[in-house]
Homo-oligomer: A and B are copies of this chain.
Amino acid sequence: MSKDSDLRARGERVIPGGMYGHMSVYRRMPEGYPQYFERAEGCRLWDVDGREYIDFMCSFGPMIAGYGNPRIRAAADAQRQVLDIANAPGDVIVDLAERLVRQISHAEWAIFAKNGNDATTTCNMVARAATGRSKILVAGGAYHGSQPWAARHTKGTPPEDYVNFPTYRFNDIDSIRAAVEAAGDDLAGIVVSAYRHDAGKHQELTDPDFARAVRDLCDRTGAALILDDVRAGMRLSLDASWTVAGVQPDLSAWGKAIANGEPIAAVLGSERFREAAASVFVTGSFWYQASPMAAAIATLDVLEEADAPTRLAALGQRFRDGLYEQAQRQGFGIIQSGPPQMPTVMFEDDEDLKTGFAFCSNALAQGVYLHPWHNMFLSLAHTDADIDRALEGTDKAFAAI
């Protein structure tokens, strides 16, 4: 019996359904995928049975500079040695807020939290406090966390929880205009993602015309433009992700990669929303923890020095080009979508994901950890050699299916 199946048997007794959320391999991943890992280093993972993988999920985003990155780890450890939690924060909270305000164009202030969802929810509260209005538009199918307002798809969420969150279609200017009109004088904000990275779908980059239309609608109505940069943040740009489309948000939500996996999230905001941000009461027991803040500063330094978005795009493009060549040569129709830093690979005519699951299972057996229906992530720990080694595995995976 493998260690993984032993742990699954034990886990099934004490964890509902064996595992929960996005890390439930049971309900989400192809055969052969491990439920439990033992070691992580650089861009590599080892499962509890000692199998090694080149990782293309980066812990669903947080890992951007390598598991156990020595410089970031050292910064967190040094902070932990003297102060991690206390009755008030350490000076590192000011250092990090200053750093982000300097780096992110629209930001004049910062609030730190733990979950990306804390950040998106706080953006909503600030937008509502600033405008005195209630309605927040969200794109249908977009993921902004598993709190009730953002989780209309899950059980346990009655309609009242999202009655103030009408939907629009991402990249569809007519749709968002109609939603704004329907919200009338009760529109507090519009939440947008960096791009359309809905799980299980082909990804859509943001149409700059759409971005400008959203900015214009917010300017005309006084609503806040809220950018959820939790998933894409720091991979597409070292500024807010919509900066590449020439559009600045009023409020932005960050998490995942900003501290290379140390648990921290951030809300950044413009001057106009400072007073409202000071008027809402948002907090959490661990939101002021110092070591993830020290890790965040080190991470931002590492990303800046490496020009991370450019480097990650090159790595992603190398992987994408290789997959394209292999699929062409072996006669598979694949659809690669999303930005190269966060590639998504799905098969044509594969509604039930059967081909995608088979391909991923076979890649896994070759030591390449892919995801069949969720965007993947590159990191600075990946080298060209790692990409090439992974492509050897995917070539065999195509051959096997």
Contact = CB atoms under 8 A, between A and B. Distances in A.
A125 B145 contact: no
Interface in A146-193: 146-149, 151, 153-158, 160-161, 163-164
Given A158-B128, A285-B115, A14 B98 contact: yes
A124 interface: yes
Contacts of A39: 82-83
Greatest chain B CB density within 10 A among A16, A37, A149, A287 is at A16
A77 B289 CA distance: 16
A369 interface: yes
A117 interface: yes
B285 A36 contact: no
A282 interface: yes
Nearest to A292: B263
Nearest to A269: B16
Nearest to A100: B14
Contact of A19 (B16, B89, B158, B230): B89
A155 B276 contact: yes
Given A82-B39, A146-B284, A87 B115 contact: no
A289 B263 contact: yes
A210 interface: no
B37 A90 contact: yes
B94 A14 contact: yes
B156 A40 contact: no
13 contacts: A14-B109, A17-B279, A21-B284, A23-B89, A37-B87, A38-B83, A59-B85, A87-B369, A114-B284, A146-B282, A155-B279, A160-B164, A161-B161
A263 B114 contact: yes
Contacts of A82: 38-40
A80 B263 CA distance: 13
Given A21-B282, A59-B87, 11 more contacts: A14-B97, A15-B110, A19-B89, A20-B282, A20-B283, A35-B89, A59-B285, A125-B157, A155-B276, A160-B163, A263-B285
B85 A63 contact: yes
A283 B21 contact: yes
B164 A283 contact: no
Given A19-B89, A85-B261, A109-B16, A156 B124 contact: yes
A25 interface: yes
A164 B155 contact: no
A347 to B, nearest CB: 21
Contact of A48 (B91, B97, B154): B91
A30 interface: no
B85 A40 contact: yes
A11 interface: yes
A388 to B, nearest CB: 22
B281 A36 contact: no
